[in-house]
Structure 1
Amino acid sequence: MNDINGTCCIICGQFKETGIRIVKEFICEACEFEMVRTDVKDEKYPFFVHQLKQIWVQHNA
């Protein structure tokens, strides 16, 4: 979703102006930065995996 403040990030749900697109979904720069630096043993790792799975679920629906 887009608004005057940018595009809604699929990870954090906030509207941001810069980031990346995967398929049709947007990931803000801050979330991308955090995700690529998160170790698989980090407690937030499963959250990121779940959110990223939503891209494929929504794209294949």
Structure 2
Amino acid sequence: MNEIRWEDPFCGEGNSCFRLGTDTTGNAYIAIAGEEDTPLTDSRDALRRMILDIKAGKADHLL
């Protein structure tokens, strides 16, 4: 896998922070801050995980 360049965490009033990143070939990634070693690369998986986190109260600042 190419090295991922992570942006600063996006945090709001919720319980978790998300980070967005890109690699040298332009692919995009999303991960929960602190869990960058397991980023999501598929938009379906990213959306599913984000919805589950919102339902679990981990990402209420995104609503």
Tell me the TM-score normalised to structure 2 length.
0.38
Tell me the TM-score normalised to structure 1 length.
0.39
Which has the larger share of helix? 1
